[in-house]
Structure 1
Amino acid sequence: MAGSETQLTSGDGRSVSRREPGGGLAVALWATLRRDLLLLMRRRSEVLNPLVFFALVITLFPIGISPDPQLLATIAPGLLWVAALLAALLSLDSLFRGDYDDGSLEQLLLTPQPLPMLALAKVTVHWLLTGLPLALMAPVLGIMLSLPAGSYLVLAFSLALGTASLSLIGAIGAALTVGLSRGGVLLSLLVLPLYIPVLIFGAGAVQAAIVGDGAAAHLAILGALLALSLMLAPWAIAASLRISING
């Protein structure tokens, strides 16, 4: 980004121009996104664990319940959504933990850039490497549950919308518990009640697509929940981080 030019007056009255280094919010957001992506790609287990957990749950469920295709198709929407929700929850505890342990989270609070926007950048990385892969993987696993072919697109789209909301809401709990040595259980207790509306309308969208009622209403509500989360969650995350760090 190009810098800005400032006119200064020297001691002998001459005008001197000085070019200041470029920067700003866009640079800070890009640096945060790039840094978190690089760190998570080096810690690939944190990225793969939720996906492996999701696949294992869906794979083992037909073995433990019944291989009957009709039964599996009936429970598939709720099962896929619950498994995706728990898989997303599995990776939340590490969202701010690494930055807290190495001290970079305190530096993040001291930057002149707005903390809510920087927190939103970190949540975006979490969704890109957790929520989006879950949404793309779900139709493949839906084949194992005899899910009708016409519902695959709705399943992926509803999970893409829903997991974005889950990441934003879950980041509030992760920020509140980042200073606790064993905050995983408390994190689950804090965010699971807030996940229920997303779960209801997400599974409802897939069920509506199966029976042919149309999933537009459910998807619209998921979009509204995401919009509300985008407006409120970054500010709540920033406040929670300040509480956790400063007491």
Structure 2
Amino acid sequence: MLTRDLLGVGRRLGDVLTPLVFFAMVITLFPLGISPEPERLAMIAPGVVWVAALLSALLSLDGLFRADFDDGTLEQLLLAPQPLALLVLAKVAVHWLTTGLPLALMAPLLGLMLALPEGSYLTLMASLALGSACISLVGAIGAALTVGLARGGMLMSLLVLPLFMPVLIFGTGAIQAAIVGGPWLAHLAILGAFLAVALMLAPLAIAASLRISLHG
């Protein structure tokens, strides 16, 4: 399943690049709309980066199961002898590899535009990598619940956005702590704990949500 979906990414490059382009555009426009002063930009940079990353991930979550639903693949997955939770975990992993990981890798380049100090780049990448994995896992639950709806993107956003708040708070807090020289590892440890819990519970919830969406 992992290999199949990774190969399918090459046929949907537009869908993969859209969140990354959106992320870059938001970060680029903020210095123009707010102020080019480095002190002010550095103050708001953690929140700007994380909100932009969160919205970018939401752009691609709606289509996580949509193509497989349209061509009947999801019905076959429910009948497969392999556990559905493991199959959907592979699909979520592909979403993170093509959205969350690229966002984390390109964040330091865009951090230059927001006057982030060099010492915060490692924390920025680590927090986005951990947080985006949590977003992919939790967001996939909403995507599974709304996959059968014609316009489920807005409903999915309303369902999962409140669940993203802890990730947003601690992800932003890690970068702010790194900027002022504070203990940022504690924030990353909490994000890691969120990810561990999501890895255990989210695949089961996604599988149950898909069964509800397909069979009621």
TM class by shorter chain equals over 0.9
Structure having the higher helix fraction is 2
Q: CA deviation at 1:38?
A: 1.0
- SS of residue matched to 2:102: helix
Q: Which residue of 2 aligns with 1:102?
A: 71
Structure 2: distance between partners of 1:209 and 1:69: 16
Q: Name structure 1 gaps, 5 residues minimum.
A: 1-31
**Aligned partners of 1:180 and 1:242: how far apart in 2?**
14
Mapped partners of 2:34, 2:181: distance in 1: 26
Q: Give the distance between the partners of 1:34 and 1:173, measured in 2 at CA.
A: 24
Question: Partner of 2:160 in structure 1?
Answer: 191
Q: State the Cα distance separating 1:68 from its structure 2 match.
A: 0.8
- Distance (Å, rounded) in 1 between the aligned partners of 2:133 and 2:75: 26
Deviation at 1:83, TM superposition (A): 0.3
Does 2:215 align with 1:246?
A: yes
**Offset at residue 214 of structure 1 (A):** 1.8
Q: Which residue of 2 aligns with 1:12?
A: none
Instruction: With a CA cutoff of 8 Å and minimum separation of 6, indicate the structure with the bigger relative contact order.
Output: 2
In 2, the alpha carbon distance for the partners of 1:184 and 1:213 equals 38
Residue equivalent to 1:236: 205
The alpha carbon displacement at 1:241 in A equals 0.2
- CA deviation string 1:61-108 (max 9, x = no partner): 111111111000000011000100000011000000000000011000
Tell me which stretches of 4 or more aligned residues in structure 1 moved more than 3 Å: none
Alpha-carbon distance in 2 for matches of 1:109, 1:40:
22
Q: Do structure 1's residue 37 and structure 2's residue 6 form an aligned pair?
A: yes
Q: CA deviation at 1:39?
A: 1.0
Structural mapping, 1:203-242, within 5 Å:
203-242=172-211
**Which amino acid in 1 is paired with 2:150?**
S
2:109 is paired with a residue whose SS is helix
CA distance in 2, matches of 1:167, 1:77: 20
Q: How does 1:1-247 map to 2 (within 5 A)?
A: 32-247=1-216
Structure with the bigger percentage of strand? 1
Q: For 1:58, give the aligned amino acid.
A: I
List alignment gaps of at least 5 residues for structure 2.
Answer: none
Q: TM-score, normalised by structure 1?
A: 0.87
Q: How many residue pairs align between the two structures?
A: 216
Identity %: 74
Q: Which has the larger radius of gyration?
A: 1
Write the deviation string for residues 210-241 of structure 1: whole angstroms up to 9, x where unpaired. 00012110000000000000010000000000
Report the TM-score when normalising by structure 2. Answer: 0.99
| Mapped partners of 2:191, 2:57: distance in 1 | 17
